[in-house]
Amino acid sequence: MKKLTTAMALALLAGPTLAEDKIVIEFAYPYSHLFDVTYEKILPKFYEAHPNIEVKMRATYESYEDGTNTILRESVAGTLPDVTMQGLNRQAILVEKGIAKSLEPFIAEEADFAKDGYHRAMLDLGTFEGDVHGLPFSISLPVSYYNMETMAKAGYTTENLPTTWEEVIAACVALKEAGVDNPVFWGWNITGNWFLQALMWSQDKPTVMGTDFTLDEPEGLTALNTMHDIFRGCEMQNLEWKAALASFAAGDVGMMFWSTSAVGAVERSMGDFTLVTNEFPGLTDKGPMGLPAGGNSAMLVSTSEDPAELDAAWKWLKFITSGEGAADVARTTGYMPPNQAANEIILADFYAENPTKATAVRQLPLLREWQAYPGDNGLAATQVIYDALEGIVTGEFDDMEELQEELSEEVQDLLPTGS
């Protein structure tokens, strides 16, 4: 705070020229309840570093879907902000429609871009059509949550937590025998295909290759069967996510497989039990070979022609995705920054003190793209997958081979014909 006042004093001393040259950029992000605090923390630091830029916060998006739809509407109305935060799997749409700008020209100007902690895997998450279009800001990965008191009823300790899905199902059976009604919640309903992609990446298989939906391959059947076995073997209830989080917080559910981003919410609302997070189980005892990254990414959507304004927008983009800016993501939310420098240097102590948040960081080498389905029907394809997965939970579908065939056909039908 003191630093901020000094900066302001300096700015005042520097005289009217600076004030006149103040560049205003407009910025919009989702989930104010989660990220308000993050930006509140970042802003003073940014203003200190760039006193001549002012960041104007727009109305926040209610969700990632709302964020993308808002940008699409604004592009029609011609009222786009300069920088927007978009869900990682929503970036592709904005690139396809030519709304998001390539960041390559700006990156080319930077001298030590790699030294700032931007590594290949991170940039890959925002690379489309060969160019970097988005810089990932906050990342989440699937992790396991355990209620240790409940797990103890079936003899589990932090030493022998399940590491494969088979062991998870075995744990379910053991917990049921120990009198736990709802042993597990498996977050299939996070946007409808994130966990499907998790099972696909676990076998190192992308869900979409070009315009091909790869569910019709053997890995797809393994993924579907795994889900089916978990839901049936654990007799999992079809809970809506709010109800699931409440059940877990109340101590009703022993194991929850969900995004790491909810760690904060769970810790805040849970009852009197010991929460442990652990690595996401794999199909074999080697663990998953990859996991899809969730979270959001900063994109440049400015329609301004003014180089000064674009440069200011870039400065903001870079500030929040590297160094102290990126570090504040981990400090204030359940997410982590993908930035290597921030994680390894600035945040080393933080993770030591917050072991529940460190699980996802240990999984960082597994980071893979959260894939979008190409073409205008991309979102409709997601919905078809959601409906199918729900059918497995509710028991509507029992024959996975048949489902695999139907689902791959229906989704493939919605994707553009490969050229």
Q: Is 121 exposed, middle or buried (0-12, 13-18, 19+ CB in 10 A)?
A: middle
Q: Are 292 and 191 in contact (CB under 8 A)?
A: no
Give, as ranges, the residues between 53 and 82 that touch another protein (CB under 8 A): 57-60, 62-63, 65-66, 69-70, 72-79, 81
Q: Which parts of 211-240 interact with another protein (CB under 8 A)?
A: 237-240
Examine residue 304 and tell whether it contacts another protein (CB under 8 A): no
Q: Considering only residues 95-154, where is the footprint of another protein by CB under 8 A? A: 97, 99
Interaction of residue 255 with another protein, rule CB under 8 A: no
Does 412 bind another protein (CB under 8 A)? Our answer is no
> What is residue 82's three-state secondary structure?
coil
Question: Restricting to residues 308-337, which ones interact with another protein according to CB under 8 A?
Answer: 331-334
Establish if 250 lies at the interface with another protein (CB under 8 A): yes
Question: 180 or 312, CB closer to another protein?
Answer: 180
209 binds another protein (CB under 8 A): no
Interface residue with another protein, options 8, 41, 48, 170 (CB under 8 A): 41
Q: Hey, which residues between 163 and 202 contact another protein (CB under 8 A)? A: 181-182, 187, 189-192
Q: What is the DSSP letter of 334?
A: S
Residue with the two structure tokens 């950029």: 25
Asked if 48 interacts with another protein (CB under 8 A), we say no
Q: How do strand 291-292 and strand 367-368 relate by DSSP bridges?
A: parallel
> How many chain residues interact with another protein (CB under 8 A)?
79
Reported residue count of the chain is 419
Residue 341: phi and psi, rounded to 5, are -60, -45
Instruction: Tell me which residues in 342-381 interact with another protein (CB under 8 A).
Output: 376-377, 379-380
Q: Are the CB atoms for 134 and 126 separated by under 8 Å?
A: yes
Nearer to another protein, 296 or 322 (CB): 296
Alpha helix stretches (DSSP H) within 322-396: 323-332, 340-341, 348-353, 355-362, 378-394
CB of 394 to another protein, least distance (A): 6
Three-state DSSP class for 63?
coil
CB nearer to another protein: pick between 19 and 250: 250
Closest CA to 250 of 236, 266, 235, 231: 266
